[in-house]
Chain A
């Protein structure tokens, strides 16, 4: 399974703007400190939950050799992945019909899932997107009998099966 979502997120990350490499110099107790004059503000308007997550987790680092800010793509993707997994774990914990959801196979599978190498990565990101788009004003909050909850739980089960089969 190709990680189409990750590819499209990478393209989105590359379209983001970086801070201008201008630093203000100030002195404090015999030390000159350089602080970034103006941090970049992303002006792209989007309603895609994954793209919003990318903007929220935006990271850049300054390369003194090149004299420019470089977007930390892998770091951003990794942070987005962590956030997605956390939210899905919360979803499981809240809506699984089980006394101890965190001791179920599904929960543990999700907990230890490596999004960099798993076949289910694409599905996990898309599931997060689906749940986020269909949630109420509070993220990942549904009525207990909601169809979206049933769908979400079912998709996760299928993703687990698919991931285990493809190993």
Chain B
């Protein structure tokens, strides 16, 4: 086994290697939610939580159900991807009565879809990593190390490379990474690895962390293997 091997990819069956599905625990967590959830008074109160409003959004309900059934929290982006798969079913004239602490009428949350579109899942990859890059705007970083990163990600114009503005560098890097993930140029298949790209870059440009740089370079080299990437052997 070489240091550029992807153990997780190698362990996949041939169909998965051909299809290259996005690997995330999100679908497992979503699967924990029952297909139909009857909402009674107590559940409605719990879902609203300590909100000042009496209204209930599907985002709120989804976050509550994931926490309850899968003991997991959702990021904003994950919530955006999943919320289309749930819907409220509510009959006309359904009432909530605080005197008797009951809900009169039919009120349920049902799953519209059991699986989420692969394209939507792919949009999760890199999202958190890009957030780490955004955070560089508020950090003091080394501009020559940033230039090394920009050279590594490629497709950066000379004018952008010559710029001495920290903010411009961050914007350039962020836009380039956004293109990479949107166009699936590097074929990263786990949101965790996408997040780590942002973390490694952040660590390297702010503190010169060589392990982080090594990991990033290793990943970049693996993108030339012409296959999906699920994991890398990280340097400590």
Binding site for B on A (CB under 8 A): 20-27, 30-34, 37, 62, 64, 67-68
A67 contacts B99, CB within 8 Å? yes
Which chain A residues border B105 with CB–CB below 8 Å? 25
Q: Does B144 contact A (CB under 8 A)?
A: no
> Could you tell me the distance in whole angstroms from the C-beta of A51 to the nearest C-beta in chain B?
28
> Could you tell me the distance in whole angstroms from the C-beta of B61 to the nearest C-beta in chain A?
8
Which chain A residues border B101 with CB–CB below 8 Å? 67
B97 contacts A30, CB within 8 Å? no
Q: Which chain B residue lies CB-closest to A63?
A: B98
Q: Does B142 contact A (CB under 8 A)?
A: no
Q: How far is the CA of A23 from the CA of B56 in the complex (A)?
A: 13
B96 contacts A67, CB within 8 Å? no
On chain B, which size bracket covers the interface?
20 to 34
Which chain A residues border B57 with CB–CB below 8 Å? 30-32
Chain B interface, DSSP helix/strand/loop, else mixed: mixed
Name the one of A30, A62, A64, A68 contacting B87, with C-beta atoms under 8 angstroms.
A30
B83 contacts A30, CB within 8 Å? yes
Which chain A residues border B45 with CB–CB below 8 Å? 64
Q: How far is the CA of A145 from the CA of B44 in the complex (A)?
A: 64
Chain B 82-117 interface 0/1 with A at a Cβ cutoff of 8 Å (1 = within): 010001101011111111010101010000000000
Which chain A residues border B99 with CB–CB below 8 Å? 20-22, 67
Given A26-B90, A27-B90, the answer on whether A68 and B54 have CB atoms closer than 8 Å is: no
Q: Does B58 contact A (CB under 8 A)?
A: yes
Given A62-B54, A64-B54, the answer on whether A32 and B90 have CB atoms closer than 8 Å is: yes
Name the one of A21, A22, A31 contacting B55, with C-beta atoms under 8 angstroms.
A31
Binding site for A on B (CB under 8 A): 45, 48, 54-58, 83, 87-88, 90, 92-99, 101, 103, 105, 107
Q: How far is the CA of A9 from the CA of B90 in the complex (A)?
A: 43
The 5 A-B pairs with the shortest beta carbon distances in the complex, nearest first, are A21-B98, A67-B98, A34-B54, A30-B58, A32-B56
Q: How far is the CA of A30 from the CA of B92 in the complex (A)?
A: 15
Q: List 7 A-B contacts (CB under 8 A).
A: A23-B96, A23-B98, A25-B96, A25-B105, A64-B45, A67-B98, A67-B99
Which chain A residues border B87 with CB–CB below 8 Å? 30
> Could you tell me the distance in whole angstroms from the C-beta of A29 to the nearest C-beta in chain B?
9
A23 contacts B55, CB within 8 Å? no
B90 contacts A22, CB within 8 Å? no
Q: Which chain B residue lies CB-closest to A20?
A: B99
Which chain A residues border B56 with CB–CB below 8 Å? 31-32
Q: Which chain B residue lies CB-closest to A36?
A: B54
Q: How far is the CA of A26 from the CA of B107 in the complex (A)?
A: 10
Name the one of A24, A30, A67 contacting B93, with C-beta atoms under 8 angstroms.
A24
Q: Which chain B residue lies CB-closest to A26?
A: B90
A68 contacts B98, CB within 8 Å? yes
Q: Which chain A residue lies CB-closest to B56?
A: A32
